[in-house]
Structure 1
Amino acid sequence: MLIAFNKPFNVLCQFTDRSQPARRTLAEFGLPKDVYAAGRLDYDSEGLLLLTDDGILANRITDPRHKQAKTYWVQVEGAVDEAKLTALRQGVRLNDGMTLPAQARALPTTPELWPRDPPVRYRKTVPDAWIELTISEGRNRQVRRMTAAVGLPTLRLVRMSIGALELDGLAPGQWRRQQ
Structure 2
Amino acid sequence: MEVYKKDHRHFVIYKPYGYLSQFTTNAVKQRNKRFLGLLQDFPEGIMAIGRLDEKSEGLLLLTTDGKMSDYVNSQKVEKEYYALVDGNISAEAITQLKTGVEIGFDGKKYQTKPCKAFKLDTEPDLPERSKKIRDARHGPTTWVSITLKEGKFRQVRKMTSAVGYPTLRLVRVRVGSIQLNAMQVGDVVEVDEFHTLS
Q: TM-score when scaled to structure 2?
A: 0.85
SS class of match (1:56): helix
Q: 1:120 to 1:93 in 2, by over 3 A?
A: same
Match of 1:29 among 36, 39, 52: 39
Work out the CA distance in 1 between the residues paired with 2:57 and 2:17: 5
Work out the CA distance in 1 between the residues paired with 2:66 and 2:166: 35
**Which runs of 5 or more residues in structure 2 are unaligned?**
1-8, 194-198
- Matched with 1:79 is 88
Give aligned pairs, total: 177
Answer yes or no: is 1:12 the counterpart of 2:32: no
> How far did 1:31 drift?
4.2
**Which runs of 5 or more residues in structure 1 are unaligned?**
none
Deviations 1:29-69 (A, max 9, x none): 114312211121000000011100011111111223xx311
> How far did 1:20 drift?
5.0
Percent identity (aligned): 37
> How far did 1:177 drift?
2.1
- Matched with 1:120 is 133
- Matched with 2:53 is 42
What letter is aligned with 1:33? P
What letter is aligned with 2:81? Y
SS class of match (1:155): strand
Decide whether the 8 Å contact of 2:84 with 2:141 is kept in 1. yes
Work out the CA distance in 2 between the residues paired with 1:50 and 1:144: 21
Decide whether the 8 Å contact of 2:127 with 2:184 is kept in 1. yes
